[in-house]
Amino acid sequence: MSDNTKIEWADATVNAVNGCSVTSPGCTNCYAMKQAHRFDARRGLTTKTNGGMVWTGEVRLN
């Protein structure tokens, strides 16, 4: 959870759901898929391939 946000109508933000699955060619350009491996809470949600990080299909509710 983040207690600081620049969203005018919100005091805090939280990402309650993490993960995804590749469903279309547009997923190739997914920013979240490329960045998810950087955060401990998202370990195991992506796997490294020759083309970069790819979602494993696992979705977690935090």
Burial class of residue 44 (count of CB atoms within 10 Å of its CB; 0-12, 13-18, 19+): exposed
The pLDDT value recorded for residue 1 is 56
* pLDDT tens-digit map of 6-60: 888 988 888 788 888 889 998 888 888 888 877 755 678 888 888 888 899 998 8
Element (H, E) at 49: strand 46-49
d(CA 52, CA 16): 25
d(CA 28, CA 51): 9
Say what the pTM is: 0.65
